[in-house]
Structure formats: C-alpha cells, structure tokens
Amino acid sequence: MSRREEVLAVMEKVRSVPVGALEAIRLLHAPEVDVDKVVAVIERDMGWTANLLRLANSSYFGCRRSVGSVREAFLRLGSKNLFHLITASAVIPILRGTIQTREGGTITQWQHSLGVAKATEKMAEASGEEASQHAITGAMIHDIGKVALVQNLRADMVKVDELVRDAKISPLLAERMILGVDHAEVGARLLAKWNLPQTIVEVVRRHHDLPDTENKEDRAVELVRLGNMAAWVAEKREDAGELYVARFLASAVERLGVNDRTALMIAHDVEELHARGAGLEF
C-alpha cells in the first residue's frame, strides 16, 4: 500500500458530522424550506443545538439581543444565514486546533474559518455581488481536511511543518511529499462522503489552486480562494511566502476586479475581527 493509500484509508474512518445536520441540509435544499421540520431536526440533538445558539450569539453575526431558541435564531438571522449556520455548527467540534502566526501568536482554526467567511462576503460585496450560501459555508469549512489530518496523523503533520520551515516550500506541496495527498483533497473527499452539495466540495478541493483560466470556475470557488488569501495576509501567516501580499493583490484585481486599497481593507477587517476575539466563543 502506498503512503497515499494508507492516509486515505485513515481518513475513511474519520467521524462524520451529526446525522441530523445532513438531514437539515437536505431539507434546506428543498424549493420551499419547511422551517418547522428543520427546527425539529436540530432540536433533537442537544449538543448541536447548543453550538448553533452559541454561533448565532457570537459577535460574528453582530446580534445585540441574545438568541435563546433555534427558531429565534432562524428568524433573527434570516434564511440567508440558515444553511451555513447549520453546516458550520455541525462541524465546529471538528474545527478545533490552532494556527501559528509569523509574530509567534496563535489563532484557532475556527477563528481562521470565520475570518475567511467574512473576507469572502466582503470580496463578493466589493465586486458588486452577494456571496452565495455555498461560498460562505465553503469558507467556514474549507480547511476541514487539515484539521482531520492533524487530528489523525499528528506525527506526519509535524514533519510537514518542519519541511515547510526548512525547505521553504508551500504547506500544500509539503503535505503531498509526506502524505501523498494534500488537505484540500482530503477535505473534499470527506465532504463528498458526507453528501454535502457539490459546489461546497469544489470550493474545498480548489481553495489553494491557481485560478483555472481555461474553464469557467464556480464563483464560490474564486471568492473563497481570495477570502482565504485575505485571511492569510491578515494573520501574517508563518507559511506565507514573501511575495504573498503581492500575489493576493494581483489575484483580487484579476479575478474579481477588486482594487488594492479595497483588498487591503478587507484583510484589515479580518485582522480586526480576530482582534475582537470573534470566534473565541468556542
């Protein structure tokens, strides 16, 4: 068995999101959403309900008055947030773990996810559109493969970090060298196995890829890719190369028509979100 096959076999055993979450996601895909049914599915799972309420009350959503029930959370946040709220609250327990910044600080994987979601939303806004639910959900869970790898193959991921530091290569390349597979592919495989919508699977699979200039890419893929880059700039990531900011600014103009000033402001907004501690509620 190759290393790649071994790693994929380990990933096959990663626990799934709650069954209720999958059911709720399916219900939300119906042309007419039956809120009563969705609420009933969520309320069946106490841990999940608690996560959803915590998320609804987090500063990310900026609610002034606190939300006390699942139904209230839906009414308050509106159907636009319904879908990604459910998905995100279902995967929060999986999105534990921390990220090193260049200044020696740490932020949680969950904070990073919220930062990418915020940047994705703002990138869409700056290019005169609204981010789709799939883009926001994809942003929130884009690094799920990395978390799954760290949790299940910690020793290998330590080697990946060392290789990134010593050989000054990208984390993605280091993962491929050590594991035969990278976290984007692992994440996409997990989500496909859990039957998440194909657009979200593609967002996760392609969030580090260079833009595909030959084929038309889904807008959600482009937005989250730029959202992730904005967050890396904001987080002054250890593993970002020296030219990272320049690459980010060039991509923002080329792919979304967003100018330098606006792109840097979006990165700054993510920095502020982190400074306020949004996401630390978990």
Where does this chain bind Fe ion (CB under 5 A)?
143, 228
If the CB atoms of residues 24 and 237 are measured against Fe ion, the closer one turns out to be: 237
Minimum distance of Fe ion from residue 226's CB (angstroms): 12
If the CB atoms of residues 204 and 256 are measured against Fe ion, the closer one turns out to be: 204
In terms of C-beta density within 10 A (0-12 exposed, 13-18 middle, 19 or more buried), how is residue 71 classed?
A: middle
Q: Provide the residue type at 134 as one letter.
A: H
Angle between helices 198-205 and 183-193 (to 10 degrees): 170
Q: Which residue is nearest to Fe ion (CB)?
A: 143
Minimum distance of Fe ion from residue 138's CB (angstroms): 11
Query: In Å, how far are 157, 164, 172, 179 from 168, measured between CA atoms?
Result: 16, 5, 12, 18
Minimum distance of Fe ion from residue 99's CB (angstroms): 8
If the CB atoms of residues 207 and 219 are measured against Fe ion, the closer one turns out to be: 207
Tell me the C-alpha distance between 83 and 64, whole Å.
21
Minimum distance of Fe ion from residue 109's CB (angstroms): 8
Minimum distance of Fe ion from residue 170's CB (angstroms): 10
If the CB atoms of residues 117 and 249 are measured against Fe ion, the closer one turns out to be: 117
Tell me which residue of 228, 198, 21 sits closest to 119, measured CA to CA: 228
In terms of C-beta density within 10 A (0-12 exposed, 13-18 middle, 19 or more buried), how is residue 229 classed?
A: buried
If the CB atoms of residues 87 and 228 are measured against Fe ion, the closer one turns out to be: 228
**φ, ψ at 61 (rounded to 5°):** -85, -10
Tell me the C-alpha distance between 240 and 229, whole Å.
9
Minimum distance of Fe ion from residue 8's CB (angstroms): 18
If the CB atoms of residues 17 and 203 are measured against Fe ion, the closer one turns out to be: 203
The span from the first CA to the last CA of the chain, in angstroms, equals 39
Minimum distance of Fe ion from residue 25's CB (angstroms): 22
If the CB atoms of residues 17 and 239 are measured against Fe ion, the closer one turns out to be: 239
Angle between helices 133-141 and 219-235 (to 10 degrees): 40
Query: What are the DSSP E strand ranges found in the chain?
Result: 98-100, 106-108
